Amino acid sequence: MKKWLWTMLFGTALVLGACGGGGDNGGDGGDSSGSDGGDTSEAGAAEELFQNNCASCHGQDLSGGAGPDLTSVGADHSADDIVNIIKNGKGQMPAQSQVSDEDAQTIASWLAEKK
């Protein structure tokens, strides 16, 4: 019975996370980017990758859900540690083989700044 309940809760979290959508991406095209566009673009790309690959478990605002809260993950893990976790999994988190090495590095660098 517990497995069935856990499966239903996890499945619901995945469905709701996947359906959440942002709708705020319209401003990423950036009239305010200016000369600092590199950092802003990278952060926007990292956030989009996170939303597409991680938010269903870790929450769209990094606050957690089926997976742990990542709002201050950079205080505990370096970017290299986070890449390792993404690629190899940790605890109940499975390895994310669908995420390319480049995308994993982009996400990890962005998350490592969350302190």
What are the binding residues for heme c?
A: 54, 57-58, 93
The DSSP code sequence of 48-63 is HHHHHHTHHHH-TTS-
Contact yes or no for 77/84 (Cβ under 8 A): no
Annotated binding site: 54, 57-58, 93
CA distances, 83 to each of 5, 67, 68, 78 (Å): 31, 16, 16, 9
What three-state secondary structure class fits 90? strand
The one-letter amino acid at 57? C
